[in-house]
Chains A and B, each alone.
Chain A
Amino acid sequence: MKRAVVAFAVVALAACAGVLGLRRSGPQAFPHRAHVLANVSCTKCHLGLERDDGAALHVPDDASCITAGCHAKPHDARPCLACHAAPEALAQLAGARDHLAFDHARHLPRTKGNCMRCHTGVAEGDDHLRPAMATCFKCHDHDAERDARRCEACHKNLEAGLERPATHIAHDGDWLHEHGVRAASSADLCQTCHAEKFCAGCHGVTAAALPATLHFSDPFTPSVHRAGFAARHSLEAKADPGACQQCHQPDRCATCHLAKGIAGSGRLSPHPPGWVGITAAESQHGREARRDPAACASCHGGAGEALCVTCHEVGGVGGSPHPPGFSSRQRMTDLPCRMCHPIGGRLQGSR
C-alpha cells in the first residue's frame, strides 16, 4: 500500500512538474553558468559595459552570439533570447536600471573585470543573477546613509518602483496582519519605500475606499475586507472585540446601519429578546457590553449612551457601572463623569 502511495505521489508530481514550475516548459533562463564554465567572459557578450552610463541594458543580440564565432550556425530562425531567456528577465533588468543608480564602468576596473565578484549567483545557477544589496555592503560602507534613511544615492524613486526587498522586511507570510507591529519600531524604514498616501489609503478617515474595493478586479489584492466580508462582518467583530476600532471611528457602524434601517432608530433592532432583563442572569446586554463595548458605542456613543445611566447609577436599578478596582484620571467636570456625578460633587460611584 505504501509503495502504491509513493508511486502515485511521484507520478502526480511528475505530471504536475510543469504547472508547479519545477520543470519549465516555456523559455528557459539563459545558461549563464554553462557559458562561464566554458570560459566565455561576460564582456564578450555584454558589450559596452566598460562604457556603461547606467542607462543601457547591454543585453546581447543575435549578432553577439553568431559573430563571436561561438554559435555560427543557429539552429533556429527565431531570435536567440526568445527561447534562451526567462520571460520576466528583461522586464526585471529594465526595472533595475530605472530604479538603481549604478554603472558598471566604475566597478569593472575595481573588480579587475571579474563580474563574479558581485554576480555570485552565476556559480549556483542561471536565476537570480542580480546581486543582493548585502553584496554592495561588502565594499561600500553606507552606515550613515542607512541610519538617516538616505537611500536616494543608489535607489531612484523607490516609492514608484515598489520593489520588494529580497533580503529584509520581505513582506511575506501574513504581512497584512503583521505589518502594524513591525512598523511600530521602524516606521521610518517603511517610509523609505512607501509614500504617505500608501498608509492613508487604509488608515486615513478620509480614505475613499480600501484597496480591495478599489481594485475589485484583482482577487489577490490584500485586504481585511476581502470577498463576502459584508455578510460575515458581525461574526468577525464579535470574535475579535475592538478590531474594527483599530481603524474605524466608533460611529462607522451606526452610519451604515442607520442607512439600512438595522440600527436602533431604524425599522429593526439588532438586539434579541431578553436583551434587558430585571436580574443580571436574565439580562444579556451587560455581558455583551463588557465583551465588546466598542460594538455598543458604534450606535450608542455620544449622547446616545446617556440611556445607560438612566439605570446604571448608584441607587438605580442597574447599580454602579464601575467594575471593582476602577480608577480614572478624568476630572469630574469631564464627560462622562459629570453625567452621574454632580459638578464638584463626591465621586460616588467609584470604589
Chain B
Amino acid sequence: MDRVLVIALRAHTADGLASAQLGRFVAVLGAIRPLQIDGAAGRIQLPHAFYAEAYAGVPVLAGLGTNRAWDWAAGARIARKLGDYGSLGIAMMEQRDAGRLATEEVGADAGFAFGKRDDLAARLAYDLANPAIADVEITARHAHDKALRFDLYAGYRAASHLLPATSLFTVLGDIPAERGGARATWKAAPRLEVSADAGVRRVDEDLAPALTARARLALDDTQRSALTCELRRDGASDDAWTGVRGAARLALPQALTASGELELVIPDRDRTAGGRYRGSVWPWGLAALGWDRGPWHAAIAVEAAASPETRKRIDALVSLGRTWSGP
C-alpha cells in the first residue's frame, strides 16, 4: 500500500454541484501546498457563485508502510467566482504529527482574466504556527497575439516556513529568498519557437541573475521530430554557473524514436567552499531509442556524466511499460 500513488472512490451528484472522494490522493487547496493523504475530500457549489471544498485524512509518509498514531491533516477552502473573469479564495489547513502541531497555514489565491489577452494569478501562504509570510507567487501574462507572449513573475519564499513547525529550524529565523523577472515566448515560424527569460534572485545580500534562452525547432508538421537548444546562466554568489543544453528527437519507421541529449555545465568556481576540487566542466549526455505502439512503451538508453561527485559515470537504462485504461 505504501507504493500506491492514487486509489480513490469518487462520487458526484447528477448536476455536478457536489462531489466527494475517498481513498489516497493529492489534496490541493488553493495557495496551500499539495499534500498526499489517505482520507476524504469534498466540494460543493454554494449560492451566489461561492463554492467550498475540504479534506481530512492521514498524510502519506514516504518509505513507511504504516503511519504514526495521531498523524492527521485537515483543510478547507472557500472561494467565489467573479463572473467569467476570475476567482478569489481563502484556505486554511492544520497538520499534526504524532499529535503535535506540525503545520498551520492560511492561504489566499486569486486569478483574473482581463479580456482575452491579459491575465493575472497570485497566491500567498501565511504560517500561523510561527507567524510570518511563508510563500508568495505572482504571475501576469500578456498575449500580444497568437505568436508572441510576455510574462512577468515575482516570488518571495521563507524557507524555514516550509518545514514542519516541530523543527528547531523554524524558530531560528531565516532570510527570505526573492525572485522576479520577465519572460518572452515567440513562435517565430510555424516550426520554430524561441523564448527568453531574464530574472533576478536575491538571497540575503547576494543578488544574482537568472537568464535562460531557449529555441525549439520542429522537423516536421506533426512535431514528432524536433531539436532544442538552451543557454542558462544561474546560481548565486560563489555557486553561479553557465550551462548549455541541446537535444534532438527523431521519429523513425516502425514506431521507433531516436533521441539524444547533451548538457555542459561550467561552474564559476571549480572548488567547493571547503576547497574540494569538483571539476571545471560537468558534461552529461544521453542517447536513447524508444518504441511506442498502442498501450506498449519500451526504451533503452545509455547515460554518461561527470559530476562533482564522480569523475565519470556510465549507466544503461531500460524501460518497458504498458498502459491500461478503463471507463
Contact = CB atoms under 8 A, between A and B. Distances in A.
Contact of A204 (B26, B170, B221, B241): B26
Nearest to B25: A196
A203 interface: yes
Contacts of A281: none
A289 B123 contact: no
Contacts of A272: 272-275
B268 to A, nearest CB: 10
B111 A231 contact: no
A217 interface: yes
Contact of A217 (B130, B248, B288): B288
B69 interface: no
A180 B135 CA distance: 12
Contacts of A185: 30, 79, 86-89, 109-111, 121, 123
Interface string B6-44: 101000000111000000111011110110100000010
Given A148-B45, A309-B168, A330-B101, A232 B265 contact: yes
Most buried by B among A174, A242, A308, A322: A242
Nearest to A237: B239
B159 A242 contact: yes
A231 B305 contact: yes
A70 interface: no
Contacts of A227: 245, 261, 263, 284, 286
Contacts of A186: 87, 111
B308 to A, nearest CB: 6
Nearest to B279: A231
A238 interface: yes
A150 B45 CA distance: 13
Contacts of B33: 246
A305 interface: yes
A148 B28 contact: no
A147 B45 contact: yes
Contact of A330 (B130, B217, B325): B130
A181 B122 contact: yes
A235 B159 contact: no
Contact of B228 (A220, A234, A243, A245): A220
Contacts of A335: 100, 166
A124 interface: no
Interface in A162-221: 167, 172-174, 177-178, 180-188, 195-197, 199-201, 203-208, 214-220
Chain A interface residue count: which class?
35 or more
Contacts of A305: 167-169
A231 B284 contact: yes
Interface in B158-175: 158-160, 162-175
A297 B190 contact: no
B197 A174 contact: yes
Nearest to B87: A185
A19 interface: yes
Interface in B135-160: 135, 137-139, 141, 149, 151, 153, 157-160
A73 interface: no
A312 to B, nearest CB: 8
Given A250-B167, A260-B309, A181 B172 contact: no
B221 A284 contact: no
Contacts of A196: 6, 8, 25-26
A88 interface: yes
Contacts of B173: 290, 321-323, 326
Contact of A328 (B129, B248, B274): B129
Nearest to A185: B111
Nearest to B131: A327
A182 B121 contact: yes
Contacts of A20: 188-192, 217
Nearest to A148: B16
Contacts of B175: 290-291
A145 B17 CA distance: 9
Interface in B87-138: 87-89, 100-101, 104, 107, 109-111, 116, 121-123, 128-131, 135, 137-138
15 contacts: A21-B192, A181-B139, A217-B300, A227-B261, A235-B235, A239-B235, A241-B157, A272-B274, A273-B275, A289-B169, A289-B172, A291-B159, A297-B163, A321-B173, A336-B168
Interface of B: 2-6, 8, 15-17, 24-26, 28-31, 33-34, 36, 43, 45, 49, 60-63, 79, 81, 86-89, 100-101, 104, 107, 109-111, 116, 121-123, 128-131, 135, 137-139, 141, 149, 151, 153, 157-160, 162-175, 177, 179, 183, 185, 188-192, 195, 197, 201, 203-204, 208, 210, 216-222, 226, 228, 234-237, 239-241, 243, 245, 247-249, 257, 259-261, 263, 265, 267, 272-275, 282-284, 286, 288-290, 299-301, 303, 305-309, 317, 319, 321, 325
Given A217-B289, A255-B63, 7 more contacts: A20-B192, A186-B87, A200-B36, A218-B290, A291-B159, A294-B163, A334-B165
